[in-house]
């Protein structure tokens, strides 16, 4: 088989193997100490001993092996960036995700990031960078007073920033971040910052004001009705419905906060009465006291476009990147179709198959050009700065019912109508966000686009003019495997193939895990990292490959992916993007648009000495059979980082194939993987440890077809009798831990669950069962076998914050049952596995952790380490010993995650399951736990350690 070098020739931005700790200084320049008041939690904030660096100093402080090392800067001054996240809006969890992503890709030898957090009540704190990797603010809100430096007032924060950092990068979404609040504060104290000024933010963030301003500038806008307060007259709204030819009882409209983000609080209403009810809901929930009611744009396609200013300090030169079309999808009769389906918070931030993105849009070329032109005009006319995201709709002529007023100059095209609806002053910056998707399409890596934004902002401030000339090295990009005769091995570099995807119900989480691992490993000079997608076998493939012949498995397709094609939310999206990349007509359109955008960018960037060029090549995906791919890995001596959840990635199949060729890989070996994938086999393997403090849950396995063929009531009584319980937990027998798991309280619940299996439903809607619950994502296709267990009751843990409880931050836990649910990572070599600090999982939406709580950043609470108010140090120590006993008994190696219940008094462990390819998403608890280690392991260090363990095992 012919092979070639991984494409790309860019240099690597060196992230120190021990990432710099956040520097905190008081206005007077004295050192600030961060510490936990509780002994075993002291390691969470490792910045306790780090003294502040004077503003005029050109030194950098990094934490290395628990000590402090000062690095001289020979190449000039280090740019000090203050990253501010959090805020009072419901999007503060997404803000934390954005901050984490910015920190990952921005920090370097020539640019140091300090982190700050503003809570719901506008209290300000300087936090360690470790806290930014928490899943959600609720993970640490309740312990901020003992964790971080607090500021008496926001003015004190601003005064501190004026002396401690060069420039602030606000990543607060929604209120206080995009409405001009944080900007006005920084302007008052002359603190340089990235982004648009306060006055302009205030106008653009308010959807009503922005709409009026756009209309004044000649743009077509959506007809809207403003609701202020609860006293809106029904007659006035009825007149508005009549004016726009909407049925007063059934007319479909969108109800949204006037001053909110683009997804939270947005809902669909029918008729006048329902509209007022929905508007009052938004106000009563405290989202906003002003609400817009807009015509629902039937038949339209939503789009979003990133605008990047590449002009000088005095002249704006906005360039609109390749826009993205947002397509809502419902996959046939098996999907629960919503009549009021909109691009909501869940669809935006959780990888489901209900949304697909197309960059560039599948619109006529004249429409795409007009979207780019219109977004650029809006950026200039509203005096926006540095970057923004502008959303809107395209309505083809056949579907558009809008009648543009005569004064409307912009929005009408031969193909249809363009309407701009939302202006986002601080675009989401999660790893796969629109900012990075669109930037990578035109040649920017994550680091390159973020640095370009910051250095452009520096131009506005004379004292930062010299700093904006810094042009640090950019990361070397990952390579896609091209089939030609030479596959170069650069001296001293190691090949790493990160494989993810597959055809199990967890393939979307696998994509998140693989993307996160790949991006983190790019931080190392000595690695060449290639992202690889294990394609599904077919739409109707089994969720596990039971009974598959070896040849069938070896003929599975593996796609080596170029950078821009990885940044998607679902494996189906990645596959579609690969098809688009090689489809001649579509590829030609994309290539032409890409060149046009890059030329526009270069027109402005050529005058800026910080910009050293685009660093993402326009590569094509390469296709291999699994057999070819493994052979190639052997030839180039690659190490495989396995991120395929479930199926052949976790049941020992892939491990056996790699073992046969002597290719090293991460995680446990084939036999341990096979045992742990089978939850019954796992229980059998450790049943003899009962006298050692390790307990197992009784299980009863049923075949799916048997559940359908027997009376539900008989099955229910048989299960509860054999398991000696009143409520059951059901889960797939040989699948991951995140889909198809539900609590059943009665035979009617079992009937609903079985019917969902029979109908191949993709999800069970919230609160369909008798006990309240969130959305239950179902395995697709349904599993052959299901496990029933007694549902283990644990006491509810409630996290309180000052804005909710006048008594202050804290935990409420009654502790009647003395059992809590934990998840804990183990890491090391076979026979000597080390337990990380457990995390106590807090369920917010029901008795079973939802998919969001497990994997969607900004949701779900994990308390790491377990607070002393819940578990004593002695119990924690015994718990970790029991976890290590489980890991070594099962012959785990590399790393895994063990889910269990633990008795908070004795440390006894009741095992739930073992995941040999655990989630490695940006918000995974494994990262929280690694940061509690001494010394802390930051994400890129953690994944590197797992990679090194794989290589050491093979040696």
Provide φ and ψ at 205, rounded to 5°: -75, -35
Angle at 394 between CA 389 and CA 396, to 5 degrees: 170
Confidence of residue 185 (pLDDT cuts 50, 70, 90): very high
| Burial grade of 356 (CB within 10 A; 0-12, 13-18, 19 or more) | middle
Q: Which of 19-33, 98-112, 684-698 has the lowest mean pLDDT?
A: 19-33
Measure CA 7 to chain center: 27
Domain containing residue 855: CATH number? 3.30.470.20
pLDDT average, residue stretch 556-578: 93
- Quote the CA–CA distance of 166 and 112 in Å, as a whole number: 10
Residue 691 sits in the same domain as residue 836:
yes
Confidence of residue 44 (pLDDT cuts 50, 70, 90): very low
Q: What is the pLDDT of residues 343-371, one digit of tens each?
A: 444 444 444 556 788 999 999 999 999 99
Residue 727 sits in the same domain as residue 776:
yes
Q: Which whole-number Å values give the CA distances from 894 to 629, 669, 673, 681, 900, in the listed order?
A: 22, 9, 12, 21, 20
Confidence of residue 167 (pLDDT cuts 50, 70, 90): very high
Instruction: With beta carbons less than 8 A apart as the criterion, state whether 870 and 143 touch.
Output: no
- Quote the CA–CA distance of 261 and 173 in Å, as a whole number: 7
pLDDT average, residue stretch 110-131: 94
pLDDT average, residue stretch 713-737: 88
- What total of structural domains would you count in the chain? 3
Residue 809 has pLDDT above 80, yes or no: no
Residue 762 sits in the same domain as residue 821:
no
Terminal Cα distance for the chain, rounded = 27
Residue 831 sits in the same domain as residue 850:
yes
Q: List Cβ neighbours of 53 (8 Å cut-off, separation of 6 or more).
A: 23, 25, 59, 60, 61
Q: Which whole-number Å values give the CA distances from 175 to 201, 257, 340, 457, 693, in the listed order?
A: 11, 11, 26, 22, 50
Quick one: pLDDT at residue 354?
64
Residue 130 sits in the same domain as residue 156:
yes
Is 301 a domain residue?
A: no
**Which domain range does residue 723 map to?**
700-790
CA-based nearest residue to 256, from 230, 219, 295, 220: 295
| Burial grade of 796 (CB within 10 A; 0-12, 13-18, 19 or more) | exposed
Domain containing residue 99: CATH number? 3.40.50.20
Q: What is the pLDDT of residues 193-231, one digit of tens each?
A: 999 999 999 999 999 999 999 999 999 999 999 998 777
Quick one: pLDDT at residue 230?
75
Q: Taking the CA atoms of the chain, what radius of gyration do you get in angstroms?
A: 27
Whether residue 935 is preceded by a cis peptide bond, meaning omega within 30 degrees of 0, is yes
Q: List Cβ neighbours of 284 (8 Å cut-off, separation of 6 or more).
A: none
Quick one: pLDDT at residue 35?
26
Is 653 a domain residue?
A: no
Is 134 a domain residue?
A: yes
Residue 786 sits in the same domain as residue 902:
no
Instruction: With beta carbons less than 8 A apart as the criterion, state whether 828 and 834 touch.
Output: yes
DSSP 771: S
CA-based nearest residue to 215, from 37, 74, 409, 41: 409
Residue 775 sits in the same domain as residue 807:
no
Q: What is the pLDDT of residues 730-756, one digit of tens each?
A: 988 876 556 788 999 999 999 999 999
Quick one: pLDDT at residue 138?
78
- The residue with greater pLDDT, 713 or 38, is 713
- Quote the CA–CA distance of 783 and 779 in Å, as a whole number: 7
Is 346 a domain residue?
A: no
Residue 736 sits in the same domain as residue 766:
yes
Quick one: pLDDT at residue 12?
28
Strand partners, 304: 324, 391
- Quote the CA–CA distance of 293 and 304 in Å, as a whole number: 21
CA-based nearest residue to 788, from 707, 851, 908: 707
- The residue with greater pLDDT, 606 or 32, is 606
Is 14 a domain residue?
A: no
| DSSP secondary structure, 854-868, as one string | HHSTT--EEESSPPT
Which pair of tokens denotes residue 398?
């056949």
Q: What is the pLDDT of residues 755-774, one digit of tens each?
A: 999 999 988 998 899 988 88
Confidence of residue 473 (pLDDT cuts 50, 70, 90): low
| DSSP secondary structure, 147-182, as one string | HSEEESSHHHHHHHHHHH-SEEEE---STTTTSSHH
CA-based nearest residue to 754, from 767, 766, 769: 769
- Quote the CA–CA distance of 539 and 548 in Å, as a whole number: 16
Quick one: pLDDT at residue 549?
56
Of 763, 790, 817, the position where a domain reaches its end is 790
CB atoms under 10 Å from CB of 401, counted, come to: 12
Residue 955 has pLDDT above 80, yes or no: no
Of 790, 822, 852, the position where a domain reaches its end is 790
Quick one: pLDDT at residue 491?
56
CA-based nearest residue to 481, from 359, 643, 636, 642: 636
- Quote the CA–CA distance of 608 and 689 in Å, as a whole number: 66
* Average pLDDT value for the chain: 82
Residue 745 sits in the same domain as residue 851:
no
Is 900 a domain residue?
A: yes
Of 131, 164, 193, the position where a domain reaches its end is 193
Quick one: pLDDT at residue 45?
32
Quick one: pLDDT at residue 374?
97
Quick one: pLDDT at residue 41?
33
Residue 804 sits in the same domain as residue 767:
no
Q: Which helix (H) or strand (E) holds 566?
A: helix 563-566
Residue 714 sits in the same domain as residue 837:
no
Is 820 a domain residue?
A: yes
Quick one: pLDDT at residue 399?
59
Instruction: With beta carbons less than 8 A apart as the criterion, state whether 357 and 391 touch.
Output: no
Is 507 a domain residue?
A: no
Residue 721 sits in the same domain as residue 844:
no
């Amino acid at each position: 088989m012919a092979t070639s070098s991984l494409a790309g020739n860019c240099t690597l931005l060196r992230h120190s193997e021990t990432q710099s700790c956040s520097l905190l200084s008081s206005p007077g320049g004295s050192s600030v100490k961060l510490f936990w008041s509780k002994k075993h939690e002291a390691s969470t904030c490792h910045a306790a001993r780090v003294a502040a660096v004077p503003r005029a100093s050109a030194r950098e402080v990094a934490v290395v092996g628990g000590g402090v090392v000062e690095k001289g800067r020979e190449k000039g001054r280090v740019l000090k960036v203050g990253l501010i996240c959090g805020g009072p809006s419901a999007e503060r969890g997404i803000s934390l995700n954005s901050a984490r992503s910015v920190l990952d890709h921005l920090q370097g030898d020539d640019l140091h990031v300090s982190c700050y957090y503003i809570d719901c009540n506008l209290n300000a704190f300087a936090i360690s960078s470790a806290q930014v990797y928490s899943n959600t603010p609720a993970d640490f809100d309740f312990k901020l007073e003992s964790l971080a430096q607090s500021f008496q007032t926001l003015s004190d924060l601003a005064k501190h920033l004026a002396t401690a950092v060069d420039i602030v990068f606000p990543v607060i979404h929604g209120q206080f971040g995009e409405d001009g609040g944080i900007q006005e504060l920084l302007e008052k104290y002359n603190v340089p910052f990235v982004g648009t000024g306060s006055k302009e933010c205030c106008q653009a963030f308010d959807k009503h004001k922005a709409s009026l301003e756009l209309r004044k500038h000649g743009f077509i806008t959506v007809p809207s009705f403003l609701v202020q307060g609860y006293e809106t007259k029904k007659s006035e709204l009825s007149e508005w419905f009549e004016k726009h030819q909407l049925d007063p009882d059934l007319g479909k409209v969108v109800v949204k906060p006037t001053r909110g983000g683009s997804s939270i609080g947005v809902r669909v209403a029918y008729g006048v009465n329902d509209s007022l009810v929905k508007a009052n809901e938004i106000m009563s929930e405290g989202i906003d006291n002003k609400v817009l009611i807009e015509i629902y744009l039937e038949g339209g396609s939503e789009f979003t476009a990133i605008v990047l200013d590449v002009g000088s300090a005095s002249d704006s030169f906005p360039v609109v990147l390749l826009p993205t079309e947002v397509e809502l999808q419902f996959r046939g009769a098996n999907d629960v179709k919503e009549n009021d389906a909109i691009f909501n918070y869940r669809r935006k931030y959780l990888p489901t198959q209900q949304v697909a993105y197309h960059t560039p849009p599948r619109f006529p070329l004249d429409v795409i050009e007009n979207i780019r032109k219109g977004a650029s005009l809006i950026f200039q006319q509203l005096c926006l700065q540095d970057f923004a995201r502008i959303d809107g709709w395209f309505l083809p002529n056949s579907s558009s019912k809008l009648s543009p007023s005569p004064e409307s100059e912009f929005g009408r095209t031969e193909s249809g109508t363009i309407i701009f609806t939302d202006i986002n002053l601080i675009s989401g910056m999660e790893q796969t966000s629109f900012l990075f998707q669109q930037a990578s399409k035109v040649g920017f890596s994550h680091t390159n686009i973020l640095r370009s934004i910051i250095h452009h902002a520096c131009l506005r401030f004379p004292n930062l003019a010299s700093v904006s000339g810094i042009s640090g090295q950019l990361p070397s990009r990952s390579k896609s495997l091209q089939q030609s005769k030479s596959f170069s091995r650069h001296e001293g570099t190691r090949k790493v193939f990160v494989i993810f995807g597959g055809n199990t119900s967890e393939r979307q989480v696998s994509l998140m895990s693989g993307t996160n691992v790949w991006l983190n490993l790019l931080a190392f000079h000595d690695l060449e990292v290639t992202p690889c997608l294990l394609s599904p076998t077919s739409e109707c493939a089994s969720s596990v490959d039971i009974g598959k012949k070896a040849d069938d498995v070896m003929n599975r397709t593996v796609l080596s992916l170029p950078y821009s094609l990885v940044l998607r939310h679902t494996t189906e999206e990645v596959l579609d993007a690969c098809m688009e990349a090689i489809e001649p007509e579509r590829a030609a359109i994309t290539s032409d648009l890409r060149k046009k955008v890059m030329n526009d960018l270069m027109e402005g960037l050529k005058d800026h000495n910080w910009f050293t060029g685009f660093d993402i090549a326009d590569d094509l995906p390469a296709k291999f059979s699994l057999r070819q791919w493994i052979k190639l890995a052997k030839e180039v001596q690659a190490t495989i980082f396995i991120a395929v959840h479930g199926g052949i990635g976790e049941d020992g199949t892939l491990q056996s194939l790699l073992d046969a060729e002597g290719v090293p890989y991460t995680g446990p070996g084939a036999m341990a993987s096979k045992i742990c994938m089978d939850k019954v086999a796992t229980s059998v393997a450790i049943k003899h440890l009962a006298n050692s403090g390790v307990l197992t849950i009784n299980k009863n396995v049923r075949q799916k077809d048997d559940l359908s063929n027997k009376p539900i009531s008989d099955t229910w009584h048989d299960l509860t009798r054999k398991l000696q319980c009143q409520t059951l937990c059901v889960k797939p027998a040989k699948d991951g831990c995140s889909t198809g798991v539900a609590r059943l309280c009665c035979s009617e619940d079992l009937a609903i669950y079985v019917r969902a299996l029979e109908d191949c439903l993709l999800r069970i809607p919230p609160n369909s069962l008798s006990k309240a619950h969130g959305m239950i994502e179902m395995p697709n296709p349904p599993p052959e076998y299901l496990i029933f267990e007694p549902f283990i009751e644990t006491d509810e843990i409630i996290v309180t914050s000052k804005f909710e409880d006048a008594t202050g931050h804290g935990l409420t836990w009654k502790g009647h049952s003395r059992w809590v649910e934990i998840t804990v990572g183990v890491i090391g070599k076979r026979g000597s596995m080390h337990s990380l600090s457990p995390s106590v999982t807090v369920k917010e939406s029901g008795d079973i952790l939802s998919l969001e709580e497990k994997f969607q950043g900004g949701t779900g609470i994990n308390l790491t380490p377990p607070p002393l108010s819940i578990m004593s140090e002695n119990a924690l120590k015994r718990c970790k010993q029991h976890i290590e006993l489980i890991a070594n008994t099962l012959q785990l190696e590399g790393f895994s995650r063990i889910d269990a219940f633990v008795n908070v008094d004795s440390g006894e462990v009741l095992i739930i399951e073992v995941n040999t390819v655990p989630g490695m998403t940006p918000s995974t608890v494994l990262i929280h736990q690694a940061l509690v280690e001494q010394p802390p392991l930051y994400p890129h260090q953690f994944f590197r350690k797992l990679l090194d363990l794989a290589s050491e095992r093979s040696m």
